[in-house]
Each structure stands twice: as structure tokens, then as C-alpha cells.
Amino acid sequence: MGVSELRDPEFRRDPVTGRWVIVAPERSLRPMTLEGAEPRHRPDGEGRPCPFCPGHEYDTPHEVFAVREPGSAPDGPGWRLRVVPNKYPAVKPQTDLSPTRSLSGEGQLRPGGLSPSSFPGKGDGGFSPSPFEQLPGIGRHEVVIESPDHVSNPAFLPDDQIRDVFLAYRERLVALAADPDLQFAAVFKNVGAEAGASLGHCHSQIVATPLVPDIVRQELNGAGEYHTRTGRCVFCDIVRHELADGRRVVAETPHFLAVTAFAGRFAYEIWVLPKAHGSRYEAAAGPVVAELAGLMKRVVRGLDAVLDGPAYNWFLHTAPLRSAELGHYHWHFEVMPRTSRPAGFEWGTGCYVNAVAPETAAAQLRAACPG
């Protein structure tokens, strides 16, 4: 039987668990200069120009945001930070999708909502509707190029540069909220090949989708149930308890608390929480964002010191785009070093084995990132 090649990205729903995945064949085309699995930072492969360095602006799609010298032209030199669409996107704006989609064509997205289509299996003999659902892979996939310098470790970025990164996240969340097709923006950073980075030049990514993804939905639901049961925000309770208890505290600033996660999936997993309640990162004031950036730098310096330059990710969990301020949700960052390799137990059950008690990890990190 013939296989019609899928080219455009597509959301597909697991018919049993309901878990959504993205099938994105173009992702396989991206350059992987960090290929290899050293669980440490690595420079780019030899001989390949870095597409994120100044002078190579032609190698990325047109910038959608930048911090630039006054008078410098978009997509030219003179920038301190650039945000560009990902050249090898996991999701695409609707206008970039083929008019006829090879595998389905039926999946339709209406502003603000989803209308999944059944997968049109051929010859199913009319027994029953197909159990399969998919949607066009609509969305935006952006790259935040964090510095003109070819630095691979964000802990080495100057303070004003890392502040601009966290301010850029806020700018993009505000801008992406203007697109009614998008429901959520995932802001994240991969450091090191083992953590999924494919290029060594410091960057973050933003993937905005018409779906609120599973883990964020689980957080919203779990926090909603906690709020219904207790009348309180579970994250506010975590902040209060961790400050009183102290054993998992890694670092603290006037507005933020960094703790090892009580039930982290990886050893040395850290959560950075605002002490005051707020569900929307976009609503954080500039000086507060700058304070957060400084604390994140301290935290990743601590991880570098304790784990000898590990690969890690950080990601933002914030309310869906265009949410009202929510009493039960509380934005935060999670920092997840790749301290172990999930195996069959983890992939098969969703239950992670963490070999370092969070209290032990916090004691080491406290010593390594003094205030």
C-alpha cells in the first residue's frame, strides 16, 4: 500500500490516554551541531557557522522582536537579543500550512477552539468511527537568541543580558496572546545535548499552541481542586511551608523562593516561585522580572558547581494566554537537570525514580549558591 508522506506538522491524540503529541517531519531536518551525548555543555561542531551569531542574521527567518542599538535595522547587526521564528518548526502558523493536508485535510481549527477530525482510515468497512483524532499543527515556534556572543552557558551571561531574556519572555507572551488561535505559550530552555539542545549558542524557545498541554492542564486542574477543597492556592501553601521548614530551600530573594521540588522527577530539580500570588507571568513588573533573572542565574550557577556543568532545561508554567487572573494558579519556573536517564519504568508508568533526596540536594545547592 502507498504511503502518502506527511509534511505539515499535525497534532495527534492518543486514543487511550488522550495525550496529544506533535508529528513534525520537518524537525528531522534541523542541524544538530550538538549531536553527541556528553551530559555537559559542548561547543558547536567544528567548521559549521553558528546561525545565531551576528553576521548570520540571513540564516534565520525575520525577527519578530529584538533589543537593538537605536537606529539599527531589523535582521542586521547591532542587536543584543533577537527573537526569530524557528527555521525547523514543530508547529506553524495556519498560513504556512499546505492548502491540502496530505493525511487528513479535515482537521479544522476555529478561532479560540478546536475541532478535531477523525483520522480517515481507508477501508474500515463502516464498523465503527475511527478511534483516531488529529488536528493541523497550527502554532508558533520561536527562538530567543539570548546574546550576540557565542556563549553556551547562560550562567556566563552578564546580568543585564539575562534580565533582557526574561523581559523578552514577557514581551512574547503579550504578543502571542493577540492571536486568538493560540491558547498557551510554552517558554523553555535547553542547555546541553543531553537536555535536547541542538545548537550551542545560548537560546530559549517558545512554542505556542491551540491546545493547553497535558502537564499544564494537570497543574490547572490539580490546583483548582486544591483551591476548591481548602480555599487556598497550593503554590502559596508550598511557599509558606518551604520557608517555615527550610530543608528544601536553595535560595531566596525579596520576591522569590527557589526550592528543590518535594517530588521532583529528576534529582536536583528546582522550582522557582514568586512569594506573592499571581497566575500570569506577563503581569510581573520589570524590576521583579530582573530580580527573577538574577536568581535564575544564581540557581544555574549552583547546579553547575554541584553537578559539574550538567545538561538541564528550564521552563515556565503560567496561565493560558488571555486568562483572567486566577486565584488557584501561580506562575513559576522549573529547572530540571538531566541527572538520570528515564528508563522503561518511567516511560511505561509515568513514575520517576529520583536517587537523591531533595533535602540532600538542597543542602548541597545552598552551599553552592550563597546569596
Residues 325-344 that bind a copy of itself (CB under 8 A): 334, 336, 340-344
Grid coordinates representing 65 are: 522582536
Q: Which is nearer to a copy of itself, 12 or 82 (CB)?
A: 12
CB-based burial label for 300 (10 Å; 0-12, 13-18, 19+): buried
Cβ closest to a copy of itself, residue 220 vs residue 288: 220
C-alpha count within 13 angstroms, C-beta hemisphere, residue 149: 9
The piece of 149-157, 173-181, 262-270, 297-305 that touches a copy of itself (CB under 8 A) is: 262-270
Distance CA 110, CA 94 (A): 11
328 carries an active-site annotation: no
Among 80, 265, 275, 277, binds a copy of itself (CB under 8 A): 265
Q: Is 331 exposed, middle or buried (0-12, 13-18, 19+ CB in 10 A)?
A: buried
| Rounded least distance, CB 329 to a copy of itself, Å | 9
Closest separation between CB of residue 112 and a copy of itself, Å? Answer: 19
User: Which residues are registered as beta bridge partners of 270?
Assistant: 260, 335
Asked if 248 and 260 touch (Cβ cutoff 8 Å), the reply is yes
Applying CB under 8 A, does 196 fall inside the site for a copy of itself? yes
Compose the 154-193 pattern: x for residues touching a copy of itself by CB under 8 A, - for all others.
Answer: --------------------------------x-xxx--x
Write down the least CB distance from residue 18 to a copy of itself, Å: 5
8 A C-beta contact, residue 324 and residue 228: no
Residue ranges in 342-371 that form contacts with a copy of itself under rule CB under 8 A: 342-360, 362-363
Distances (CA, A) of 80 to 70, 98, 189, 240: 11, 35, 18, 38
CA-to-CA distance for 9 and 368, rounded, in angstroms? 43
Enumerate residues 41-80 that contact a copy of itself by CB under 8 A.
Answer: none
**From candidates 210, 264, 274, 320, binder to a copy of itself by CB under 8 A:** 264
Shortest Cβ 147–a copy of itself spacing (Å): 18
Give me the least distance between CB of 195 and a copy of itself, in Å please. Answer: 6
CB of 110 to a copy of itself, least distance (A): 21
Torsion, CA 10, CA 15, CA 20, CA 22, rounded to 10:
-30
- Rank residues 38 and 325 by Cβ distance to a copy of itself and give the closer one: 38
Q: Could you tell me which stretch among 30-38, 54-62, 69-77, 159-167 binds a copy of itself (CB under 8 A)?
A: 30-38
Q: Which is nearer to a copy of itself, 70 or 231 (CB)?
A: 231
Spell 197-220 as b/e; 16+ CB within 10 A means b: bebbbbbbbbbbbbbbeeebeebb
Query: Which residues between 100 and 159 bind a copy of itself (CB under 8 A)?
Result: 103, 119, 121-125, 127-128, 130-132
| Segment 230 to 249, residues that bind a copy of itself, using CB under 8 A | 230, 232, 234-235, 237-238, 240-241, 244-247
DSSP-derived 3-state class of residue 102? coil
Q: Is the dihedral of CA 294, 296, 300, 306 positive or negative?
A: positive
* 187: phi then psi, degrees, rounded to nearest 5: -105, 125
Task: Say how far apart CA 167 and CA 160 lie, in whole Å.
Answer: 10
197 versus 284: smaller Cβ distance to a copy of itself: 197
Q: How far apart are the first and last CA of the chain?
A: 64
Nearer to a copy of itself, 242 or 291 (CB): 242
Q: Which of 203, 317, 330, 332 is catalytic?
A: 203
Length of the chain: 371
Selected range binding a copy of itself among 73-81, 104-112, 204-212, 276-284, rule: CB under 8 A: 204-212
- Asked if 136 and 56 count as a contact pair (C-beta separation under 8 A), the reply is no
Stretch that binds a copy of itself, among 164-172, 211-219, 302-310, 319-327 (CB under 8 A): 211-219
Q: Which of residues 295-314 bind a copy of itself (CB under 8 A)?
A: 313-314
Active site members: 203
